[in-house]
Amino acid sequence: MEMNRRTFIGASAAASAAAFAAEDKTVDGGLAEVTMPGSPERPHPLVPAGSGSFDSFSRKCVGCQLCVEACPHRVLRPSKDLKRFSQPEMGFEYGWCRPGCTKCGEVCPAGAIRKISVGEKRNTHIGHVIWHKERCLAAEEGVECSACERHCPVKAIVRMPINPSDPSSPKVPMIDKAVCIGCGACEHFCPARPLPAMTLKGFAVHRTVRPMSDDDAIAEARSLIAKGACTLVIVQDGVFARREKGRGAPSLLSLLDYAPDKLKGTWLINKTVGRAAAAIALSGGVKRVHALLASEGAVELLKNGGVQVTAEKTVPVILNEKQDGPCPLEDAVKDINDIKAMLKAVRKRIAQLRASSDKASH
């Protein structure tokens, strides 16, 4: 139908009224006003990969602004701090630092930012993200938000239920700081206002992660497990792709449910591997398992499934914490050989254990 002058004016007035009514909104959607995120105070400033350390960058930088001009994503800007006035620092209001971009190192004339390859940048950790629960829309308002997880280029963020005993509870970000490289994508895309719920903290000295040999990976993982830093390590292409500190089988099951790509084609270095953990590993497509302690049944199950497995010590069955009986998850699958049926039994037993724990805490 052809729009006449009266109809056009009426429609324009209605649109204007809706726009004015939405002025106090601060989220992106519909006619709501889109506001810029605030700039958080950082525990330590961020400087680009190739700098090596904050001190080295500060000493060598002459404040020429060439890197600021060359940055295609507007991540670099002159600092307003009087101690390093005009020297560049990183912020993520306008963009984030792509792992494939090395422009700043290519133009720096003073050696403050060294020219590095894309591969070296991808393995350089300049900082890690901090999650602020009190700002998170998912945690505080119960809304479905996956911005940080979807945009993380290295998959360091996985959303899991805020209440582990209630899978239907809102999913919030869980961060693997061993994987986070400090690119700022999560901070940039976080919709929380006035400040994002994800903010980056810079490292005083950058960390470079290089692919390890199998023997070195096992030695490093064993050291971390001995210190209590984790109970299992996921290795991808010679690099620690993820570390988990919780109980082995439940942690693996959470990854299988919420981030299956974290397991496929990887190899696991575990503190303890029973048949329950072996079934989860098989279902997730793990290609290799190394266990400090494994049950004989787990080793057999993995080998029959085509998984390369090594164990430093094997026992007939994994015992519980009191060492007076089998582990509850081992007991749940003792008479089951079908992988799907084993997973079903493991889920049921974990739910029972959580319900019992919740009841005891009340």
Quote the pLDDT of residue 21. Answer: 40
**Could you give the domains of the chain?**
35-207 (3.30.70.20), 211-355 (3.40.140.30)
Confidence band of 81 (pLDDT split at 50, 70, 90): confident
- Helix 339-361, helix 275-284: angle, nearest 10: 120
DSSP letter for each residue of 85-110: TTSEEE--SS----TT--HHHHH-SS
Contact 48, 183 (CB under 8 A): no
Q: How high is the pLDDT of residue 17? A: 42
Q: pLDDT tens digits for 219-235?
A: 989 998 988 888 999 99
pLDDT at 362: 60
Q: What is the pLDDT of residue 210?
A: 79
Calpha distance 122→154 (Å, rounded): 9
Q: Tens digits of per-residue pLDDT, 107-132? A: 999 999 999 988 889 889 999 999 99
Q: Which of 34, 139, 252, 30 is nearest to 243 (CA)?
A: 252
DSSP state of 185: H
Assess contact for 272 and 239: CB atoms under 8 A. no
pTM higher than the cut 0.95: no
| Cβ–Cβ < 8 Å for 85, 176 | no
SS3 assignment for 106-171: HHCCCCCCCCCCHHHHHCEEEEEEEECHHHCHHHHHCCCCCHHHHHCCCCCEEEEECCCCCCCCCE
pLDDT at residue 286, rounded to an integer: 96
One-letter amino acid for residue 101 of the chain: C
Residue 53 DSSP code: B
Contact 264, 285 (CB under 8 A): yes
- Per-residue pLDDT of 38-47, as tens digits, reads 788 888 889 9
